[in-house]
Structure 1
Amino acid sequence: MSSARDRMVVTWLADGGFRIGELCGLHLIDLHLREGAGCGQCRSRHVHICHRETNPNGARAKTKHPWRIDGGTVHGGLIRRASPAMVHAYFEYLTTEYPSDVEHGMLLVQLHGANRGEPLAAAAVRGMLARASKRADVGKVRPHAFRHQFATDVLEASGGNSIIARDAGGWASATTVEQVYGHADIDDPTFSAALDHVWGRTK
């Protein structure tokens, strides 16, 4: 990966289990990457995935959880925890490549050409992954493959707890992961331990 943006895309797909529409639809305001964020909904670093019909790149989150902006802080949406590597990749991208004159507030932008600074579309991310996988000679890599691997890794690290896997990946129903119902506390120590294992903080 030649750019910090592309490294961030791969890191966020791998560590966050994002759908491509979720990732491309993020706005900077959706990111709460310091502990103790003002939303009060998650003590750890996290992201609010908010369904928006008006994103200029056409990207949309699949799920439509209620959300709002109150006092400049996003509340609600689908909350996804952020790994240390995700936070590092974000700050590298923001400080080295993100154009200073962008006004739309979307996270992922085009870096070159006449459309520099415009929101990055899902098709562009798919193209970037296809080119990178071809250069690496690993076969075609699709964004959703990262999501499947994320679910597998969280299930394995949590001892098969499909509630944790469901909530870590933001599936609407536990039946997508396994026939389990309930809700895991995203600050639960088991939840945190599973993510730490997947993120390489424990072996």
Structure 2
Amino acid sequence: MKLEEAVEEFLLSCCADGLSPRTVEWHHSHLKRLVSYLDKDVAAISTHDIRDFVAHLRNRSRRYIGHPTHPPIEGGLSIATIHGCIRSLKRFFNWLEKEGIIPANPAARLRLPKLPDRVPKGISPSDFRKLLACCNGNKVQELRDRAIVLFLADTGCRAGEVCSLKVEDLNLDEGIALVRGKGRKERMVAMSQTTCEALKAYLEVRPKGKGEQVFIGQRGPLTVSGLSQVMRRLKKKAGVSGCCNPHSFRHGFAREWLMSGGDMASLSDLLGHADIETTKVYSVFRMMELKAKHNQHSPVMHMLVEEESGS
């Protein structure tokens, strides 16, 4: 089986197994690099061939070569991109082996590069308050934007979950909502009274006849790209310099949850993670936040307090 044909079969299998369109496209974007580099039957691809391909990726000096819309620019691929490409290669060749198309996985011994230390990218409390203050009016767009900002901050939902949220998914009297996450998995999220009141105020003026979704744009239900545009507009209006894209609210939610003493297991459930290891990606704090956590949980301070109370 030719490599290009095998990639198409793999992507079809991903679709049939229920992987999200974004995940399928992620694999396609990485594997098409391999197809462009190697012209072989998959059974003839060796570990040497795979390592040679990865070395080629590391040595590239330009990006977006052959991209349909983006012009090539100087600069090699990032470690994160190479890391993702190797992960996709491992998944692809592992699938070929399990399907009996190849006798062994030539990518099995490939090492994943160490990713650089993560930089905290959660929205800061001060930036959140600035965003909220700039959508405090009574116009339809302002009421919608306020509801969006509060819902993002209060639930930690993904952008796609916010955009797919339907009116019938909301139970504002109970302060809960049904959201649909990755792999079409459903879960319940809780909301504060403030967020529920903001949603009620928006729903009273929400445009009718434009779809079942809660959040409506000019042409219909708000899309993920439309939500990103909303956040960019609010960021500019509020004069915010920090990170405040939709996903930064998810990181901010996780940070505030843990800083307030919430446990990792509950956070994992609220974020819709199947594996708690995924949740640990969100537990990245700035030094001052770590200092505050240390002050709260310092063993020395707790032991001294116990000694004083016992004397």
Please give the TM-score of this superposition, normalised by the length of structure 1: 0.64
Aligned position for 2:178: 48
Task: Give the superposition deviation at 1:170.
Answer: 2.2
Question: SS of the residue aligned with 2:214?
Answer: coil
Supply the AA of the counterpart residue of 1:64. Answer: R
What corresponds to 1:158 in structure 2?
A: 261
Identity %: 30
The partner residue of 2:223 within 121, 128, 147 is 121
Contact preservation (8 Å) 1:158, 1:164: no
Structure 1 counterpart of 2:245, from 124, 132, 142: 142
Counterpart-to-counterpart distance in 1, 2:183 and 2:249: 19
Q: Please give the TM-score of this superposition, normalised by the length of structure 2.
A: 0.43
- Distance in 2, Cα, partners of 1:63 & 1:94: 28
Q: Which whole-Å deviations, capped at 9, do the CAs of 1:57-113 have from their partners, x for residues lacking one?
A: xxxx32432xxxxxxxxxxx21111111221111010113x12334x3111112x4x
Q: 1:62 aligns with which of 182, 186, 199?
A: 182
Question: 1:100 and 1:131 mapped to 2: Cα distance?
Answer: 24
Q: Which residue of the partner structure matches residue 99 of structure 1?
A: 207
Q: State the distance in 1 between where 2:168 and 2:161 align.
A: 14
The answer to whether the 8 Å contact 1:31/1:46 transfers is yes
- Consecutive unaligned residues of structure 1, counting only runs of 5 or more, are 36-44, 51-60, 66-76, 180-203
CA shift at 1:9, angstroms? Answer: 0.7
Q: Deviations over 1:143-196 (max 9, x none)?
A: 11110010011112235x1012112222222112239xxxxxxxxxxxxxxxxx
Query: Are residue 81 (structure 1) and residue 197 (structure 2) matched?
Result: no
Partner of 2:150: 11
Contact 1:15 1:82 (C-alpha < 8 Å) held by counterparts: yes
Paired residues in the alignment total: 141
Cα distance in structure 2, aligned partners of 1:46 and 1:170: 15
Q: Which residue in the other structure is 2:60 paired with?
A: none
Rounded to whole Å, the distance in 1 between the matches of 2:148 and 2:158 is 11
- Counterpart code for 1:146: F
How far apart in 1 are the matches of 2:215 and 2:248?
20
Q: Of Structure 1 and Structure 2, which has the larger fraction of its residues in helix?
A: 2
Q: Secondary structure at the match of 2:249?
A: helix
Computed over aligned residues only, the root mean square deviation of the Cα atoms, in angstroms, reads 1.9
The structural deviation recorded for 1:122 is: 1.3
1:21 is displaced (CA, Å) by: 0.2
Instruction: List runs of 5+ in structure 2 lacking aligned partners.
Output: 1-134, 282-311
1:195 is aligned to: none
Larger Rg over CA atoms? 2
